[in-house]
Structure formats: structure tokens, C-alpha cells
Chains A and B, each alone.
Chain A
């Protein structure tokens, strides 16, 4: 399996753990990742407010053009749910000939062109539908027996491109991976609530109030830890957990890992390869059997 890989800006900072763990896990599963040469920020959902919808879509489309130039007919995979939403939605726009013509006119300024022929795929989609849970199960040399894991999918991972690979309201792919690793996937209250994404930077008090019921829901369901595929969800649940405890007078102590990190551990990879030191809520006690 071969992909054009779009890491996204978070992979160079707040989500370095996801970047390293995914590379290690991909190697183990025989996934060939070719990072898109010279990729740029997808623009997220904020850029359009400054420059307008169309230029923001062209910004995202530059990556699609670069991917096609690098490897034709090869799907793009991304580990960030926001990048997935933006790149995927922009990719869909290329079915409209008028949009395509206009976007390519702008891309010509950088000697680029895009046909609209690639697929934009999210990490979970690739893992469950291309690699398959059987292969993941087989790679789990150190199955996570007895570990209770709350899978928090996040919103943009499944809701932005509805019906692409999972049910937007009752997603299953993350829990399938958790089970393939030998852990128990626990159902929990507020698992489908939004963590408020990037509002954490401009309105942290809103984020604290939003992450509390999610973390608390997972704790009350008996989870040992939370996993998510999304960089913003991971940061908000992890970095704001102490603030939420303080404000709501709780003592929740739930490590928040990227699913790729949990996979790395089950695959028998080292603590370093799994990027565990990047976690703010320490995962070492809960994961002592596997680290």
C-alpha cells in the first residue's frame, strides 16, 4: 500500500507524537508513505474568513496538485482531521468543471495543475478499509488485554465528509482498531460532543467547559485512557484536563493518546517510538504492562 502523505502543521508541533508514531506504525504494517514534497498549510477553517472561500480552497488545492505531481493515481492520506476535512472538501469541488478551471488558473502561478483524480483519505479509513483489522490484530505482538479504552473520534474526522468511510453519528472504525489491539472499547457519555477545536486558543474557558463532560464521561465509564485520531481533540483533552479538574472539582486522570501511539505500543514498539513523552497527562502508570 502506497500513499501521498500529508502530515499537516500540527505534526510539526503539538502533534509530533502522532507524526512519529504513525511513521513507526506504518513501517510495521508495510504502508509506504511518501510525504508530499513542499506541502503547505491546508488553511484549516480559519483562512477563509480572512481571504474568502475560493482563495482558501485554492490554498488547499495546491497540496492536491503537488501530490498528483509526485505520484499520479495515488491516494492522499492525512493524520489530521481538520486537514482531512479541508483537503477532502476541496477535492470534491474539482468535480465542478468551472471551479477546476478557475482553481487551475490560480495554481498556474506556481506552475501547478490538478485534475481532481486523487482521493483524500483519513488515517482511520486507510487503517480499517485498506490495511484491515485482521492485519492490525496480527501485528499486535503485545495485545492490550484488560485495558479499557475510550475512543473519541472527534467531529471533523467523520462528519465533514459524510459517509466517506464511516457513519458520522455512530462511527465504528476507531473502536474496531481498539479491539484489534486487544483492548476493550468502552462506550461513554458525550463521546460525540465537540471539544471546540481551535477555540482553545482564543476562548480557553469555553474549551475547558466543553472538554470536561467528555473526559468525565470516559472516566465514569471506567476507561483507563482516551484515544483519538485528531490533533486538536488530543491537545484539548490532554492539555486542558487539569484546568477542567480544577474548575469542576474532579480528579480525573485520563491519559489522552493518539490511536497511532496506542498501536505502536501494542505492536511492541518502544516508548520513544510511541512518542509517549509528549503526553501531558502521564500515561506510564496505566500502561505499565506494555511500556
Chain B
């Protein structure tokens, strides 16, 4: 329970904010039938099922939603979307929620990776897979990075041995500055709409 200091746990403004996001209309469409958790690969290790996330959004339980590992465990496999009787693209809702969680400062390994990934896109226009893991390692802190290096060295060595991780970045787009200008303009347009 997050309302220990008398801070209101249920915040209707949060519900409204999610409704206004790109996929907010789908949150309203859900009829809580529960088919999504029955199809979900990682339901067993999610702290809240996808169905429950929708319920928590409607209730305005901002903290429970934004700190939930569900947002980041969704693999975007689209299986639940195939079976949802209302056609709700749950992963798109999760993508919106991740963005909100990022803005509100909820940090996870996956959000670190997303940042590193995006930085590469913004800098070069393309992903340098070999560099991704290294930059991610820097982001999660030295202790975690060393642990990862130890646990993953077998996979990493095999990937290197079979020439599947380039040591140097492949070429990016010709003019990354223009690509960034496009993204900035898009962000401004999205903001205008609120």
C-alpha cells in the first residue's frame, strides 16, 4: 500500500492521462474477460496480469501500475492480441505505460536497455548490436555489469567466435542530425496534441 503518508493511492488524473495516450482508447475497450493472462508466456513471473493492469489503470492505482514488472516483461509477441475478443493490442498499451513509467522515473534493466538502444538510434540511425551490451553494462553499474559479464561470457564468446557481434559499429545513416530533427519535430507534434 503506497498511501502510508496519507498520499492518495487512487488517482483519477492518472486514469485520464492513460486514456489520453496513443492507445488509451483500448484501456476503455477491455471487458476483463481474462483471456490475455491465459495466453501470456510470462504471466507466471509477472506481478500483475495484463488484465489486472487494465483494472488498476481504471482504478487510478498509479504506483502499482508504473512499478509493475508486467510492463517490461511483455515481449510484444502479440499472442494475446490475436485472442482478445475486443481486439485490444495489449502490448501497445504496455508500450504507452513504459513511456509513462520512464517519464515518472521508474527504472528497470529493460528501461536502461531501451535508453541505450534509443541513444544509438539517435546518434547513428542504426543499432550497433555489439556496442549495445557494452553500453548497457555501463548503465547498470559496475557490480551488475561484472555479474552479467561473468554469467554471460559463454554466450558472448560464442557470438564473437561466430562473427555475430561486430567489434566496430557498422555505418549509420548519412545524416543523423536530420533524423534527429525529424524525431524532435514528431515529439513536438505529439506534445501539441497533449
B88 within 8 Å of A (CB atoms): no
Partner of B181, one of A54, A109, A210: A109
Q: Tell me the complex Cα distance, A13–B170, Å.
A: 9
Instruction: Check A115 for interface membership: any CB of B closer than 8 A.
Output: no
CB closest chain-A residue, reference B109? A202
Q: In the complex, are the beta carbons of B155 and A13 less than 8 A apart?
A: no
Given known contacts A196-B75, A242-B154, A38 and B173 CB-to-CB distance under 8 angstroms:
yes
CB within 8 A of B182: which of A107, A199, A239? A107
Contact A51 B75 (CB under 8 A): no
Mark interface residues in B133-158 (1 if CB within 8 Å of A CB, else 0): 10010000000000000011011001
- Contact present for A9 and B126 (CB under 8 Å): yes
Interface contact A9-B127, CB-CB below 8 Å: yes
A52:B99 contact, CB within 8 angstroms: yes
Q: How far is the CA of A198 from the CA of B117 in the complex (A)?
A: 11
Residues of A within 8 A of B99 (CB): 48-53
Q: Does B25 contact A (CB under 8 A)?
A: no
Q: Choose among A48, A105, A203 the residue that contacts B95 (Cβ–Cβ < 8 A).
A: A48
- Residue among B96, B115, B162, B186 making CB contact with A58, cutoff 8 Å: B186
Whether B45 and A206, one on each chain, are in contact in the complex, defined by CB atoms closer than 8 angstroms, is yes
Tell me, yes or no, whether B77 is within 8 Å of chain A by CB. Answer: yes
The reply to whether A204 and B76 form a contact with Cβ atoms under 8 Å apart is no
CB-CB nearest in chain A for B83: A169
Q: In the complex, which residues of chain A have a beta carbon less than 8 angstroms from the beta carbon of B37?
A: none
The reply to whether B81 and A106 form a contact with Cβ atoms under 8 Å apart is: no
Q: Mask for A150-174, Cβ within 8 A of B = 1, else 0?
A: 0000011001101000001100000
What chain B residues lie within 8 Å of A202 (beta carbons)?
Answer: 109-110, 112-113, 136
**A240/B155 contact (C-beta < 8 A), A54-B186, A55-B190 known:** yes
Verify B75–A194 contact, CB threshold 8 A.
Answer: yes
Interface residues of A in 68-106 (CB under 8 A from B): 85, 102-103, 105-106
What is the interface of chain B mostly: helix, strand, loop, or mixed?
A: helix
Using Cβ atoms and an 8 Å threshold, which residues of chain A touch B30? none
A242-B153 Cα distance, complex, nearest whole Å: 12
Tell yes or no: B23 within 8 A of A by CB.
Answer: yes
A280: interface (CB < 8 Å): yes
Residues on A with beta carbons closer than 8 Å to the beta carbon of B133: 201
Task: Give which listed residue, B78, B130, B173, contacts A159 with CB less than 8 A.
Answer: B78
**Chain A residue at minimal CB-CB distance from B115:** A50
Whether, in the assembled complex, B104 has its beta carbon less than 8 Å from a beta carbon of chain A, the answer is no
Q: Within 8 Å of chain A (Cβ to Cβ): is B183?
A: yes
Task: List residues of A (129-157) whose CB comes within 8 Å of B's CBs.
Answer: 155-156
Nearest Cβ in chain B — how far from A267, in angstroms? 23
A49, B95: Cβ atoms under 8 Å? yes
Q: How far is the CB of A157 from chain B (nearest CB, A)?
A: 10
Is B125 interfacial (CB-CB < 8 Å)?
A: yes
Is A189 interfacial (CB 8 A cutoff)? no
Add 13 more A-B contacts to A202-B110, A278-B164 (CB < 8 A): A38-B173, A48-B96, A49-B114, A53-B96, A105-B185, A106-B185, A110-B178, A168-B78, A194-B41, A197-B75, A202-B113, A239-B155, A243-B155
Interface residues of B (CB under 8 A from A): 21-23, 41-42, 45, 73, 75-79, 81-82, 91-92, 95-96, 98-99, 101-102, 109-115, 117-118, 120-121, 125-130, 132-133, 136, 151-152, 154-155, 158-159, 162-166, 170, 173-175, 178-179, 181-187, 189-190
A residues apposed to B, CB below 8 Å: 9-10, 12-16, 38-41, 43-55, 58-59, 62, 85, 102-103, 105-110, 112, 155-156, 159-160, 162, 168-169, 192-194, 196-199, 201-204, 206, 210, 235, 239-240, 242-243, 277-280
Task: Show 27 A/B contacts (Cβ-Cβ < 8 Å), sorted by A.
Answer: A9-B129, A12-B166, A13-B128, A14-B159, A39-B173, A41-B126, A41-B127, A46-B114, A46-B117, A48-B99, A49-B98, A49-B111, A49-B114, A52-B99, A53-B99, A55-B186, A109-B185, A110-B178, A160-B78, A162-B78, A194-B41, A197-B76, A199-B110, A202-B136, A210-B42, A239-B159, A240-B155
Closest 10 CB pairs of A and B: A49-B98, A155-B77, A159-B78, A53-B22, A13-B129, A55-B186, A9-B127, A58-B186, A106-B186, A45-B76
